[in-house]
Amino acid sequence: MAIRRNDEQNASPRRPTGSGLLGPVTGFARAFGRTAAGMTLDLASGAARLGEATVDTLVGRHRAPGVLRVQVLILRDESGTPLCSADAVRPSLENAGRILQQHAGLRVRVVGVRTVSEIPPPEALDPRANRGLMIDDMLGHTAFYRRHLGAEVNDGVDPGLVAAPITVVVVRNIAGNTTGCSLGISADWVITQSTLYDAANPHSYDETVLAHELGHALNLPHHSDHANLMFPVSSPPQNVRGMALTRWQRAVLQTNRHVVPGRSGDPVDLG
């Protein structure tokens, strides 16, 4: 009986295929540009929000919680069968909402759970993880994801949108002992393996991975405390990681460019 380890340490040795030199070069430039632009936006929005929050504290003004918009794209296998149902993803989404509300004062607003009708290519259905995924992103092998993010969501060429939703893509199998992967600041999407959402299989079902990957997409690195949401490994059913966040993690989340800041003095329901 294999224990699923939802870690991100074991990139597959599978090699990228195809592509001449121009693809990787422009892909690298694109990924680098996205990262640099994302960092600039995070710094700018973080500084602005810190200033606003300080003023609010000084004048005793109430501030409504910030809102993180999340959408889910469920892929189909070669025969056209969806990898999971929309209902199966709900507990993980609700869990992410609970964690971010409780520990970071943020509200998760689910803007859609869609099943992609187009059959994905093999590299999108069974992607590589970590460095492999990053290389594939540079080689253009993640184009399928970006193409289906939706008009409302940043297409990945220019992370110019503050408050862009984060997209969780449900894939079939991620190479290695990995069940979720994020490219961090350089992408507005993360991938998660469909077995995470299969409640009938306690050895793969894990409601923490979606929230963990959202944390990476919002710039959080790994944390060494097993009780923390950003602990790298989670092994259901016995040894699932905790869901705590520290104060500095909360600050990173609240100032992230993906978060729609709560209005001060005039709490409004954005969800």
The binding site for Zn ion (CB under 5 A) comprises 8
Classify residue 200 as exposed, middle or buried by CB count within 10 Å of its CB (0-12, 13-18, 19+): exposed
Q: Would you say 74 or 214 has its CB closer to Zn ion? A: 214
Q: Would you say 8 or 206 has its CB closer to Zn ion? A: 8
Q: Would you say 8 or 188 has its CB closer to Zn ion? A: 8
Please state, as a whole number, how many other Cβ atoms lie within 10 Å of the Cβ of residue 118: 12
Contact, 189 vs 210, CB < 8 A? Answer: no
**Nearest-approach distance from CB 6 to Zn ion, in angstroms:** 8
**Nearest-approach distance from CB 222 to Zn ion, in angstroms:** 6
**Nearest-approach distance from CB 233 to Zn ion, in angstroms:** 9
Q: Would you say 87 or 225 has its CB closer to Zn ion? A: 225
Q: Would you say 63 or 128 has its CB closer to Zn ion? A: 128
**Nearest-approach distance from CB 173 to Zn ion, in angstroms:** 18
End-to-end C-alpha distance for the chain, whole angstroms: 43
Closest to 12 (Cα-Cα) out of 120, 121, 119, 123: 123
Which residue number is nearest to Zn ion in terms of Cβ? Answer: 8
**Nearest-approach distance from CB 202 to Zn ion, in angstroms:** 21
Beta-strand relationship, 106-115 and 66-74: parallel
Q: For 179, which DSSP code?
A: S
